[in-house]
């Protein structure tokens, strides 16, 4: 179904190692783009020159969590197995197999071969680390006959490398609901274990799901996760721990990948996993995931807090323009969502009802988002709209306002300045009367304090609320 031939793969990409080589050259080369608009020198990841003082270092307080639990799982005993003669993949059945299970075994092997070709020959992702624990060095998938009705995918690490945080692994999934997408997720996650095993399982599942959507249609569980996340945009989906919303992180990784767009789709975020890899030493019970993939993102932006705020604000806005709202101007789009997954709006207000003072119905977690819709039902020419937003310390929020036409397309945008140490912003808007509505978008940037930016490993999080005051401050009278 998703099989990619070798000729296409060779033309499409020379593999992940070549991409890392290009990134390494960018780290030491002269800037490909000398200076961006406004005089800002691009970061190292995009061809910028190294600063004379060296890269900024993110300090991690010794008392803050650094990673998920170090957990390894023994492989189950297989009752029957089959391995591919073309690709290094094997499928095993755990438990007492029936004729139906044996049929599913053969079909799963075909689907696993297709997934292997799509991810590793097509996208050029690195192949999973080999192991000697499943009867062969191939990637192993264990289908359990003791289904719980969910067919949930579970990916486990075998062991950590003595030299760096990498591991081989295996997948365990029920036979009842196993489909091609779960097997694609399995191989993608095994690949990521070989890049940086210290990344939290929730972060790893989110990226693996995004990589899988590049070569296969998402399953019902992924669609449900996105729909739930959009119904609760105040919840963070880039989370260390695996939960029901982990797959919805496709929205974050998709935005990051498409907006930067410097390589084959999926290759850049995977490379960030590899670039964040460290080494967990000593008799620790937790991974030492410092730096993590988000540290690499910040490093690519020269650890410029304002640039990071702009990136996260763009991500927040992109989640409004999903599925049926996709317009090609706001990545990632995900047109396959159609009308599924439209985000919940905190407030729907009419301009004629102003002044109004509203509070966020639910506090926002780090990278949690709020949307307020102001319908411009009666607006006079030359109107002035003033607003004040207050939020809780010590975190920073990023805000933007978008003017939309009657078809929901962006007409104009006001990107409000990033305020590192403030908890209030005030502004007066002009020249918006031709729009149909104004969309206020806010996102909690998350942080322990000013020296410690948001880190998915530092849980539990403290959500923060805001208030929004809106008033027409013009002297014009609406006829």
pLDDT tier at 379, thresholds 50, 70, 90: very high
Q: What is the pLDDT of residues 140-171, one digit of tens each?
A: 999 887 654 445 789 998 876 666 888 899 99
Same domain, 184 and 292: yes
Tell whether 174 is covered by a domain: yes
Same domain, 360 and 412: yes
- Tell me the residue length of the chain: 479
Same domain, 391 and 468: yes
Does the structure show a pLDDT above 80 at 58? no
The residue among 332, 329, 358 whose CA lies nearest residue 218 is 332
Q: Which residues pair with 414 in a beta bridge?
A: 401
Q: d(Cα 348, Cα 457) in Å, to the nearest integer?
A: 35
Quote helix, strand, coil % in the chain, to nearest 5: 30, 20, 50
Residue 470: which H helix or E strand, with range?
A: strand 466-472
Q: What is the pLDDT of residues 442-472, one digit of tens each?
A: 999 998 777 788 888 887 888 999 999 999 9
Same domain, 85 and 140: yes
Higher pLDDT, 227 or 63: 227
Same domain, 353 and 451: yes
Q: d(Cα 466, Cα 369) in Å, to the nearest integer?
A: 11
Q: Which burial class, exposed, middle or buried, applies to 362 when counting CB atoms under 10 A from its CB (0-12, 13-18, 19+)?
A: middle
Give the residue-averaged pLDDT of 275-289. 81
Q: Given this model, what pLDDT does residue 261 score?
A: 75
Look at residues 240, 266, 300 and tell me which one is the last residue of a structural domain. Answer: 300
Q: What is the pLDDT of residues 408-450, one digit of tens each?
A: 999 999 999 999 889 999 999 999 999 999 999 999 999 877 7
Same domain, 340 and 464: yes
- The CATH number given to whatever domain includes residue 156 is 1.10.390
> Could you tell me the residue range of the domain that residue 429 belongs to?
323-472
Look at residues 239, 267, 300 and tell me which one is the last residue of a structural domain. Answer: 300
Q: Given this model, what pLDDT does residue 26 score?
A: 34
Higher pLDDT, 118 or 336: 118
The residue among 130, 122, 118 whose CA lies nearest residue 88 is 130
How many Å separate Cα 119 from the centre of its chain? 18
Same domain, 258 and 225: yes
Same domain, 330 and 204: no
Number of domains in the chain: 2
The CA angle 229-465-458, to the nearest 5 degrees, is 65
pTM: 0.85
């Amino acid at each position: 179904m998703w099989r990619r031939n070798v000729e296409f793969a060779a033309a499409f990409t020379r593999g992940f190692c070549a991409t890392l080589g290009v990134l390494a050259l960018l780290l030491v080369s002269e800037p490909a783009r000398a200076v961006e608009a406004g005089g800002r020198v691009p970061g190292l990841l995009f061809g910028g020159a190294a600063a004379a003082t060296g890269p900024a270092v993110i300090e991690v307080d010794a008392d803050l969590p650094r990673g998920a639990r170090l957990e390894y799982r023994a492989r189950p005993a297989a009752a029957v197995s089959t391995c591919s003669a073309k690709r290094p993949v094997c499928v095993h059945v755990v438990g007492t197999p029936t004729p139906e299970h044996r049929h599913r075994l053969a079909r799963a092997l075909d689907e696993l071969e297709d997934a292997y070709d799509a991810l590793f020959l097509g996208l050029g992702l690195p192949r999973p680390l080999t192991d000697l624990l499943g009867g062969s060095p191939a990637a192993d998938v264990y289908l359990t006959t003791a289904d719980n009705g969910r067919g949930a995918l579970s990916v486990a690490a075998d062991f950590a490398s003595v030299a760096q945080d990498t591991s081989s692994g295996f997948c365990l999934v029920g036979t009842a609901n196993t489909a091609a997408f779960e097997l694609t997720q399995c191989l993608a996650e095994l690949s990521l274990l070989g890049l940086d095993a210290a990344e939290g399982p929730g972060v790893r599942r989110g990226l693996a799901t995004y990589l899988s959507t590049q070569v296969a249609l998402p399953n019902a569980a992924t669609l449900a996760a996105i729909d739930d996340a959009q119904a609760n945009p105040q919840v963070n989906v880039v989370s260390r721990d695996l939960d029901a919303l982990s797959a919805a992180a496709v929205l974050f990784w998709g935005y990051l990948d498409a907006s930067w767009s410097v390589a084959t789709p999926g290759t850049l975020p995977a490379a960030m996993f590899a670039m964040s890899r460290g080494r967990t030493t000593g008799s620790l019970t937790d991974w030492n995931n410092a730096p993590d993939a988000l540290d690499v993102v910040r490093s690519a932006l020269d650890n410029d807090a304002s640039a990071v705020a702009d990136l996260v604000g763009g991500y927040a806005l992109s989640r409004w323009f999903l599925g049926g709202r996709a317009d090609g101007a706001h990545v990632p789009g995900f047109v396959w969502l159609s009308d599924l997954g439209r985000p919940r709006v905190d407030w729907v207000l009419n301009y004629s009802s102003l002044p109004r003072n509203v509070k966020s119905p639910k506090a926002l977690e780090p990278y949690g988002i709020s949307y307020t819709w102001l319908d411009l039902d009666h607006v006079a020419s030359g109107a002035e709209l003033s607003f004040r937003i207050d939020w809780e310390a010590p975190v920073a929020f990023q805000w933007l306002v978008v003017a939309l036409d009657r078809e929901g397309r962006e007409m104009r945008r006001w990107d409000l300045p990033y305020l590192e140490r403030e908890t209030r912003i005030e502004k007066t808007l002009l020249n918006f009367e031709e729009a149909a509505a104004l969309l206020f978008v806010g996102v909690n940037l998350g942080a322990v304090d000013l020296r410690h930016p948001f880190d998915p490993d530092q849980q539990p999080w403290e959500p923060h609320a805001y208030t929004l005051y809106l008033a027409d401050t013009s002297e014009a009278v609406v006829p």
